[in-house]
Structures are given as C-alpha cells and as structure tokens.
Chains A and B, each alone.
Chain A
Amino acid sequence: MTAITDRQKLQYIAARAADARVNVELETEGMTLNIGPQHPATHGTLRIVARLDGEQVVAAEPMAGYMHRGYEKLTEVRTYAQITTLINRIDWLGSFANEVPFILAAERLMGVEPPPRATWIRTIFFEMSRIANLILFLGDMGVQLGAITPVFFAFRDREFVLDQIERVTGGRFHPNFDRIGGLKDDLPKGWIEDNKRTMERVRDFCDEIEDLLMGSEIFQQRTRGIGVIPPDVAMQYGLSGPNARASGIDWDLRRDNCIGLAYPDLDWKVWTHPDGDSFARFWVRLQEVREATHMIDQLCDGLPSGPVMAKVPRIIKVPAGEAWVSTENPLGEMGYYVVSQGDLTPFRVKIRSASFNNVSITPWLLRGVYVPDIITILASLYFILGDIDR
C-alpha cells in the first residue's frame, strides 16, 4: 500500500510541477479521484486512480488485482478435466471460449485429433459465446453513456442465446462442455432449427441497437473522436481483438492463425474500422455479432455427421512437453501456455487473457480527457474483470 501512495505522490509532484510551468500566475490544486474498486463504470473491481485538474485527467493509472483468484496456480493442483470448470470463470460472459484454447493445447500435447463434427460444434459454441458476450457490451455501452433502455434489450436477447447454450450443455454461463478429444455430448434434436430463429433474433437486436443507440446524434457526439488509439500504439500495448481491429489493424486469429477450429471452411469477413475511436470499437463489435450469426448459420447448415468424441484414455495423462495455443476470443487474443511433465495435472499454465493487455493502455489513453470520457473509453475498451485478474 505504501508503494502505491509513494508512486502517487511522485506523480502528483511531477504533475504539479508541469502545471506550474504552464500557468505561473494561477495556482490551482489538483484532485485525486479514485474510480473504483467499487464503482458502477468498472463493472467489477478495477480501480483507476485519476489525478484531475478540474474535470480533466492529468494522469490515470489502472490498478488491477482486486479480484485476483490465482487461477494459474490453481491449475497446478487440478486434473485436466477439472481445469475447464475453473477457466470457465475467466471471461464469465463468454465462458465456452475460455475452454477451447486450453483444450486445444492439451490435445496438441497428447496428439489427439477431435472428430470433425466436434470441431464444428466447438466453433458454433465459440461463436455463440462471442455473441453472448458482445451483445451485453452493445447494451452496456449505452448504459455507461446514460441510455438505460438498450441494456434491457441486450439482457432480453442474450437470454435466447443462453437458452440455446443451456439446452446443449446444461449450463447458462459456465458450460464446461469441452473435453480433450471432443465434446461431452452431441446436439439435441431440433436444436439446429431453433438456433436459426435465435440467430434471426440476434440480428434483429443488432438492427435495433443500430437505430436506438448507434444512430443517435448524442451517442455519436459522445464517442466519435474520443479515446483514439493509433494503430502503432495499439500494437505497442499489445491490444488484440476488436480493440485492435477498430484501430485499423487487420488481424484476426480466426483467419490468420486458426488452430483446431472450423473457420477456414466458412465464408466470412474480418471487420476493421480506420478511426480507432470509441465509436469504431462499438461499430466493429456490432459487425462482429452480425458476422457471428452468419457464421453459426453456415456451421449449422454444413455440420458434418459422425461422433463427437475421439478415442482418449479414461484417465488423462498428458505427455511431457510444452504447448502454446491462442484463439480469437470475444475480448481478444486468449492463449494458454501449458507445460506438462507427464502427470495428471499440468506443471505450469500461463494464461494470456486479452483484457489485461487492453486495459494496460489506459494510462496512455486517459491522459488529457475529461471525466465523462473516462467512462466512454473504459466502456468501449470493454474488459471483463475476471479476464484482467484471473
């Protein structure tokens, strides 16, 4: 705790000195505002220490760790089958997507090839969790800017997607459905037809949001030109996912480095936006939800037949070795570096989650903005606290 206050003190003195150089006549005193850890805008327990001059931010620093649950260490005392339950809780809105890269890494170490039907269903749920996650962002962005109606539409329509996930996996939020070598179960009867309707609903929701929120003059005034991230800065800070694509970086792991998922067989497009501002980040995510519905429709149409589980031993012992697999999760690049020594449990797992890197840009991004724009920028960067702290 003392380390933090010392650092703040130094920052404060430096900023005061800078102020004094700019304005020698008018002595003003800054104010340090703690945004969080309990604050509605951080939808979790992120703390942002912002030094303000009036309503303008002089320096801002994110403080993560209030929700650190030690997942990397916990994986070392769990078997591979148990770990999926755990890592479900990293990005809790798109849970299934957390399981996939870990299982892929384990499969690579074991040399197991899942049957094609399992791969396709995996891809379906991967995209379903993207929709479930990003729909909530689309509504939440509105609520952060003061429009509370879109978020209710978001919760309403996300429920249809969660229902579909629940029908197959038994869990709304935490499916725990992925297994080494395939999936736990096949799709139930009639699921694909219902899924068509659900995807239609999601597309309707996207149109609704486009009319209600994105088309609103006030929304555009609040987001356009706010929190601009140039592409080179985005790369330096290791942004990934929609945040990077909104800065015009045409990079998507689904297309550029697709491991073990069915994306190469699909007809789809990577959406990018040249502006890099908050509006671009919103726009890119909206397009990605639309694109995901079309992908799921294609996946449902062309679903290959066959088993959903490869032959794997009953007690899973992963051979010694190391594997790194990362996928394009709803929030950005998520990867697992799994080190095994041939035991029932991994020796070490390093989790690379997207939000941690996405949030690390905030000191650079928040300098000089006004307090209301802090909220816009944080909302548009879109982080999940579980994904920052793990």
Chain B
Amino acid sequence: MTHAFLGVELAYWQQTTIRVLAGLVAVLLLTGGVVYLYLFKFVSFMQSRLGPMEAGPYGSLQLLAEVGKWLQKEDIHTKDSDRLVFGLAPAIVLTSTFLMFVVIPAGPNAVIADLGTGIYYVLAMSSLSVLGILMAGWASANKYALMGALRAGGQLIAYELPLVLAVLGVVISAGSLNLQDIVAAQSTGEIFGWSGIGNPYVLTQLVAFLVFMTAVQAELTQTPFDMPIAESELVAGYQVEYTGIRFLVYFISEFATAVGFAAVASTLFLGGWALPASWDISDGAMHVIGPIMISVKAVFLVGVVFWVRFSFPRFREDQLQRLAWKFLIPVALANIVLTAVFKVVF
C-alpha cells in the first residue's frame, strides 16, 4: 500500500520512518528553540538582565553547552532508591511527551498517524506522565520527592478534567474528534455567516480556550501551579534526586510537553496548520506553509505560558485544587451546555 507524501510515492515503512524522524527532529528543534527563546532570553529581559551571551552569537549555543554538561555528569542513585523504577520514571515521562506529537497535524499530510479519536489520544497520552512522576517520587526514597510526586499526582489529575471538558466544547462545535477534521472545521467554518477568516475557535470558544490554557499551565506544572516542584520549599520535588542525563530527560520532557500542549491548543483554537479556506491557497503551498504556521502559533502560545510563569507567585496546593474543582470545571461544563444549545439552535 502506498501513500502520497509530499507528492512522492513511497512504501509505507519508508513513509513512517520519514515521518517519525522528521517529527522527532521538529519537536527537538522547537523545544530547543523555545528553551533558548523563552527560558534564556525572554525571561532575562523580563528580569532586566541579558542572559547567556558567551556561547555562540548572542548566547545561541548555550543550550548545546548545557546539554553537553549534563551528559558528562555522574548518574547518582541514592542508597535506598528503587533502581529499576528510578531509572524507568524519566523514560515514561519522555515517552508520554513524544507520544502526544503522534497525532498533531502540521500540514495536509504531515502527521505521523491520523487517528479518528485524535484529541482523546493526545489527552490520554499526556496524562501518562503522572505515572512516571509518581514512580520518580516513590523510587527516589526522598521525602521531598515523595511530597512533590503526590502533589503532582493530585494536581495533574485535577486539571485533567477541565482540560477534557474544555476540549469537549471544541469537539461539539467541530463535530469530530479527529484533529485534521477540527482544523478543517475551523478553516472552512464561518462566524454568523461571515467566512473571511474561517472560524478559529479562539473567537467562538473563548471560554474553552481560557480554561484550556489555564489547565495546560497546571498540567505543565508551571508557575502559578508549580507546587509539585516548588523550588523554595520542596527544592525540586520529584526531580530532586535526579542528575545528569536523567535530569536532562525531565528537562527536555518539560519543554517538549509545553510545545506539545501549545501545538494542541493552536490546533484546537487557533486554526492549526491551515489558513482560512476562503483565502484559497493551494494544497501544494500548504505543505510548506502548514508546518511553519503551526510552529509559529505553538511558539507564541508557549510564550504566553512562560510570560505567566515568570510573572506570578504560586498557588498553594489546596488553593489550586479549589480553582480546578470549584471554578474551572463548572465554567467548562457551562460552556459545553451553551455550545450544545447553540449547535442545536443555529
């Protein structure tokens, strides 16, 4: 069975290999770019300093230097740690991150697997990371790590719900769980009969977008929801005993997940890779424009996440649970009901 991929006829295994490799490279490049852009530079300018300036022009190779440093570090286990679980935990977290990207479309054809239940696959895969975090916390044999992991467990599960409920509004509007269909629905949609810019759901599903981004902030355990790794009290939470390459894996996973969620958010709410159908751009051009579009949108949304992260203090554990259960979930539910009513009436 052959598929057309960028207009070239290839065998299935060839295509799959190309897609996986291209996806991996794209994700790592984007992640590195996000780390440099936001963690090194954006935050430095916010805090009236320059950030890294020495490694490469304008400090652009700083990330390579950091990765090189981490790779050289000794891999330390604590005496009482459960070696096997301790070693597996970062792998599980990283796996959950990369599995998220499988269904995110970056163009008419540029998707690793076009699943019918795409968006639920993404949410299910992203919640796998809780397992890795709990394993890390337990296996580290450290009280701070354990507390961090338990906090993370409670928090990630609590914020999974508003995340799913916010997505439901979009799913009802688009009438599909498939991410390509959701992109198409936004591209060809119209707002009260006007189809000039399609129907990006950030306009018609604004409440869902805000709930989604808040929940994403919590899922990423970024400030103001960073109780699990709160550096001033739990030192580094579940990551406290990790060194060298294992810590690097957590680090990559944290930022790759940020990119992943931002890509999902831009697919669901900002129109994804597509431009409005009424602009009438050929499919051939979209093969090139698509990946750029979604990267720009995702990087922008990661920027918002980091902007919030470096501006606010953090919530206490009970306060962030209260926010999830007493505010975000009711709001998301109301949004679903309203969306359904509108869908039926109009």
Contact = CB atoms under 8 A, between A and B. Distances in A.
Contacts of A221: 315-316, 319
A370 B314 contact: no
Nearest to A376: B316
A152 B224 contact: no
Contacts of A216: 312-313
A67 to B, nearest CB: 20
A277 to B, nearest CB: 14
B316 A373 contact: yes
A148 B39 CA distance: 12
B232 A144 contact: yes
A149 B46 contact: yes
Given A33-B143, A371-B233, A372-B233, A147 B313 contact: yes
B318 A370 contact: yes
How large, as a class, is the contact surface on chain A?
20 to 34
Contacts of B230: 146, 372, 375
Residue from B223, B233, B235, B310 having most chain A Cβ neighbours under 10 A: B233
A283 interface: no
Contact of B312 (A146, A371, A372, A374): A146
B143 A146 contact: no
A373 B311 CA distance: 20
A156 interface: yes
Given A146-B226, A372-B233, A55 B147 contact: yes
A390 to B, nearest CB: 25
Given A371-B147, A372-B227, A145 B235 contact: no
B311 A40 contact: no
Interface centre among A35, A152, A212, A370 (most CB of B within 10 A): A152
A144 B231 CA distance: 8
A44 to B, nearest CB: 14
A152 B48 CA distance: 7
B313 A31 contact: no
B326 interface: no
B79 interface: no
Interface of B: 43, 46-49, 143-144, 147, 223-224, 226-227, 230-233, 235, 310-319
20 contacts: A55-B147, A145-B313, A146-B223, A146-B232, A146-B313, A146-B314, A147-B314, A149-B47, A149-B310, A149-B311, A152-B47, A153-B48, A218-B314, A221-B316, A222-B313, A222-B316, A222-B319, A370-B318, A371-B147, A372-B316
Given A218-B314, A370-B316, 8 more contacts: A35-B233, A41-B232, A143-B232, A146-B226, A146-B232, A221-B316, A370-B318, A375-B230
10 A-B pairs with least C-beta separation: A146-B314, A152-B47, A145-B313, A147-B313, A375-B233, A144-B232, A372-B316, A146-B313, A218-B313, A219-B313
